[in-house]
Amino acid sequence: MPINIPTGVTVTQKDNVVTVKGPKGELSQAIDPSIIVSIENGEVTFTINEESEVSLKQKQAFHGLYRALVNNMVVGVSAGYKKEMELVGVGYRVSNQGNLIEFSLGYTHPIFIQLPKEIKVETKTERNKNPYICLESCDKELLGLVCAKIRSFRKPEPYKGKGILFVGEQIRRKSGKAAGAK
């Protein structure tokens, strides 16, 4: 499946490194030599190099992997990626100053996390609503890593339904202990 290059995005290749530039940023990815990348007529195509010593199964795996990674880069620099999270729990708060986020999650101390400059953050705290975090970036991999790190501060738990979750995520609730049998 070829990757269509949208207008305003340029894709270049040099020494097994594909670089994608667009209005939202610039990303690059090293490609294994067992995969041949060709950029023609506004499309990026990937083919397997038959002469490399890697097994066929590994070549096929690399083919799908690098196609998906470059596609994520093209979508990221043209449209960008956005993740929304909310803090569910009594007394849970979040605020930010630039790319420094401060969490108050029921521990004895606040938790601070400094985000990379590639990620834009927005926090909202409204009355009678859960605190809200919106993260935007052109790099899907980096955005996922940051969201996983933030989520690890308070994982959603199934008994009370508290924790840091993605907007719209449903937690499977458990009933807890049954009443004592006599």
Examine the domain organization and report whether 91 and 58 are in the same domain.
no
- Distance separating alpha carbons of residues 138 and 79, to the nearest angstrom: 8
Q: Is residue 105 part of a domain?
A: yes
pLDDT at 175: 84
* Number of domains making up the chain: 2
pLDDT at 179: 59
pLDDT tens for the chain, 182 residues long, are: 888 888 888 999 888 899 999 998 899 999 988 888 888 888 889 888 888 788 888 888 989 999 999 999 999 999 999 999 999 988 899 999 999 999 999 899 999 999 999 899 999 998 889 999 999 999 999 999 999 999 999 999 998 889 999 998 888 888 878 755 55
Q: Is residue 18 part of a domain?
A: yes
Q: What CATH number should be reported for the domain holding residue 118? A: 3.90.930.12
Domain extent at residue 150: 81-166
Examine the domain organization and report whether 8 and 63 are in the same domain.
yes
**Torsion angles phi and psi, residue 104, rounded to 5:** -120, 105
- Distance separating alpha carbons of residues 71 and 76, to the nearest angstrom: 8
Listed residue (47, 51, 44, 52) closest to 5, CA to CA: 44
Examine the domain organization and report whether 8 and 71 are in the same domain.
yes
Q: Is residue 179 part of a domain?
A: no
pLDDT at 174: 87
Examine the domain organization and report whether 74 and 121 are in the same domain.
no
Distances in Å between the alpha carbon of 4 and those of 43, 70, 78, 141, 156? 5, 11, 12, 21, 38
